[in-house]
Amino acid sequence: MYPVAGGRRAGIVPVHVAIIMDGNGRWAASRGLPLLAGHRAGAEAVQRCIRAAVAAGVKWLTLYAFSSENWRRTPQEVADLTSLLRYYLRYKVAELAAKGVRIRIIGDLSRFAPDVRAEARRAEMETASNTVLTVVLALSYGGRADIVQAALRMAKAIDAGTLAASQVDEDTFGGFLMTADMPDPDIVVRTSGESRLSNFLLWQSAYAELIFIETLWPDFDAGHFDAVLQIYSRRERRFGARPV
């Protein structure tokens, strides 16, 4: 059951959809398959999701691909996730580029192996001029860490005299975040029935519409993406103001 409020805004397409892709493990377990099979199926769902975003006219799609907390998982699972990431960065970026998709990376890439970092940067460079859809991969990303690094960078700018403390406001602070040149998400979706943000885009999601669905991520397809957009079209976004 999805919460719906306000009148329908027919034809409204969000600029930025962000997704917490959850449920790979449960999907695999329910089928008696190894965990890696769930992650592989989840990677296929990513491709379906990107195609659906392009078809819908969404301009930004941010995917929580690997959180800063995911490093706490077993060494085998981390290795499997990293191998999948390496494969898709190396062999699937060309397909996305042909569709006009630009790749952006946010997060702490320093924790990945040098070849993964190199593939990530190559993907960004080779797709930098594309304009149909920007896919932002959040890799080794944490919302709290993002806020902390922004505060540290801003403090250094103040110490260096390039920024006055009196100039600091929300817009100034936002300019130090990893997402500085991105629009805030209009929607944050989480699959698998869980109802929490799990340290994802905490600052940026202040006024996002939150949509939680029961579908496990490997089962997510264009129909689910369209359903999310339909829910969004019925939400009344007030940004703190009272309805007119």
Which residue ranges make up the annotated binding site for Mg(2+)? 22, 209
- Mark the binding-site residues for substrate, compressed into ranges: 23-27, 39, 67-69, 71, 73, 190, 196-198
DSSP-assigned beta bridge partners for residue 138: 64, 106
Residue 243: φ, ψ to 5°:
-65, 145
146 part of the active site:
no
| Beta-strand runs (E) in 116-193 | 133-141, 187-190
Point out the catalytic residue in the list 22, 80, 146, 186. Answer: 22
70 part of the active site:
yes
Separation of alpha carbons 12 and 218, rounded Å: 27
Separation of alpha carbons 165 and 85, rounded Å: 40
- Mark the binding-site residues, compressed into ranges: 22-27, 39, 67-69, 71, 73, 190, 196-198, 209
Residue type at 126? Answer: E
Q: CB under 8 Å to 94, separation ≥6 — which residues? A: none
The residues assigned a catalytic role are 22, 70
